[in-house]
Amino acid sequence: MAKPTGFMEFGRELPPDREVTERIQDWQEFHLHYPETKLKTQGARCMDCGVPFCHTGTLISGMASGCPINNLIPEWNDLVYKGQWHQALERLLKTNNFPEFTGRVCPAPCEGSCTLGLNADPVTIKSIEHAIIEKGFEEGWIKATPPMSRTGKKVAVVGSGPAGLACADQLNNAGHLVTVFERSDRIGGLLVYGIPNMKLDKKLVKRRVDLMAAQGVKFITNTEVGKNYPAEKLASEFDAVVLCGGATRPRDLPLEGRQLNGIHFAMEFLHGNTRHLLNEHEPVAQEQGGFGYPFLSAEGKDVVVIGGGDTGTDCVGTALRHNCRSLLQLEILNRPPDTRQSDNPWPEWPKVYKLDYGQEEFKALYGQDPRRYSVTAQRFVGDENGHVKEVHTIDVEWVRDANGRLGPREIPGTEQVHPAQLVLLAMGFLGPEETILGALSVERDERSNARAEYGQFSTNRPGVFAAGDMRRGQSLVVWAINEGRGAARECDRYLMSTTNLP
């Protein structure tokens, strides 16, 4: 593949980012583009490794190893190296409906299992993927291609996040009449309201949605099935239903003072911010039953973010752009090591310390990582007006109990008080909301997700399928695309008794 000695001749090189002092002044994407000569060099690093773990898409130790949608990575790396961009695009689109999304927001488990990563820096797979799809749009190679014939079968997809959009795209390609229902005012789910604009420009989501609409997919916004659209009406009017509503029930932190004003779930903050930003440039009509959160400003406030994952990082980056007064991010886990440990071997996802874009921005401005590791909040304290003013914390150490399970233990004497007028809870999600699953009498699994076996995606109710975070729990965009494609395949099989969908 590519240049046989490329991995020995060239080092890993990522596209540059905009300067921090510039990019925190706006909401534009911060990654810059590579010239083709650089991309060719990076593609040349892909090895003829025999067994390319990068596209295996398996779970090891509960984490993705390789690409969950089995992208044909060595093939399009080789084609980019040879300058055959159109063929590279064709190979990329064989497995991925939305490379413009994964090429921006995916944490790249493919790179974590790249064979080159055994003793060197892995191939820049994500950057090459991003470049291929954007060149496809720039060159006009990506056009609306409605199916040549229709089956007459009608399918409802509930939820327009990555799982719902992937499912709708596949079912439409199979010739079915697809309608996507979204409770918010814009199509895109977490792609629009869960990921900040500087990480994924919303114009790119609209570009894809417009393309799907031109191919025949119907989109309905401001409509929450089970609330302002009867679930049974959905079941009776469509030949099949695919539930892709996500895992939107956030994990709470029921401490003393939780009822104080100024304490919000992270998604309230992120959703309200993006909604405010988009409505300034592209107002939309609000219909009865629309879903959304008000704008919450961090300007001039001491901000405490509780939670260290991607959502916490997005809160950090957003608060910095609001010009907050101070910012602290609390993480109950220990600081990861700088390099792989013996209990985290390749090709597992490398559990190592890194700075994501939000922490990178904070460090560039203030000289340190905003995260405090091995610490937990004890209580919230408010002012005379019932608004939060302090977060009280204590350090923890991780110890094993009698059954050998690790758990946090508070360390006496490490208590601290942190000023806070805005507290953002970014500790993940517990599962889907009750509304539509209850209305359709869909069974739940032990984690409260829709019960549907992976690979089959069918629920206890005939003709009703479930995919994405609503079925598997909180996960990655790339896993949502995997599930949306799989559910579309099984839904097509249910409708037609056979299927040609991958």
* pLDDT per residue of the chain (502 residues) written in tens, 0 to 9: 578 899 999 999 999 999 999 999 999 999 998 899 999 999 999 988 888 999 888 889 888 899 999 999 999 999 999 999 999 999 999 999 999 999 999 999 999 999 999 889 999 999 999 999 999 999 999 999 999 999 999 999 999 999 999 999 999 999 999 999 999 999 999 999 999 999 999 999 999 999 999 999 999 999 999 999 999 999 999 999 999 999 999 999 999 999 999 999 999 999 999 999 999 866 655 544 457 899 999 999 999 999 999 999 999 999 999 999 999 999 999 999 999 999 999 999 999 999 999 999 999 999 999 999 999 999 999 999 999 999 999 999 999 998 889 999 999 999 999 999 999 999 999 999 988 999 999 999 999 999 999 999 999 999 999 999 999 999 999 999 999 999 999 999 999 999 999 9
35 and 50 belong to one structural domain: yes
Domain boundary among the residues 388, 409, 427 is at 427
The position carrying tokens 């939670």 is 307
- Whether 64 is covered by a domain: the verdict is yes
* Residue among 104, 153, 161, 108 at smallest CA distance from 132: 104
Q: Is residue 501 part of a domain?
A: no
In a domain, 144, yes or no: no
Instruction: Answer yes or no: is 418 within a domain.
Output: yes
Say yes or no: 213 and 339 in one domain. no
Residues 130, 180 within the same domain: no
| Whether residues 295 and 436 fall in one domain | no
Please state whether the predicted TM-score (pTM) of the whole model is above 0.85: yes
CA distances from 169 to 148, 356, 478, 484, 489 (A): 15, 31, 15, 9, 11
Question: Is residue 356 within 8 Å of residue 313, measured between CB atoms?
Answer: yes
DSSP state of 366: H
**Structural domain boundaries enclosing 262:** 253-427
- The answer to whether residues 118 and 64 belong to one domain is yes
Domain with residue 44: its CATH number is 1.10.1060.10
State the Cα angle at 300 between 299 and 306, rounded to 5°.
75
Of 421, 373, 418, which is closest to residue 398 (Cα–Cα)?
373
Question: 210 with 316, same domain?
Answer: no
The number of distinct structural domains making up the chain is 3
Give the model's pLDDT for residue 62: 85
**Residue 453 forms part of a structural domain:** yes
Query: Which CATH number do you get for residue 265?
Result: 3.50.50.60
**Phi (first) and psi of residue 345, to 5 degrees:** -75, 160
The CA distance from 431 to 444, in Å, is 10
Report the alpha-carbon distance of residue 128 to residue 124 in Å, rounded: 6
Same domain, 15 and 92: yes
Q: 437 and 417 share a domain?
A: no
Domain boundary among 427, 453, 486: 427
Same domain, 400 and 258: yes
409, 427, 445 - which closes a domain: 427
**Which residues are CB-contacts of 427 (< 8 A; sequence separation ≥ 6)?**
250, 251, 253, 306, 307
Domain shared by 208 and 335, yes or no: no
Domain for residue 454, yes or no?
yes
Residue 460 lies in a domain: yes
On whether residue 502 sits in a domain, the answer given is no
Q: Are residues 334 and 194 in the same domain?
A: no
460, 420: one domain: no
- 10 Å CB burial of residue 11 (0-12, 13-18, 19+) is exposed
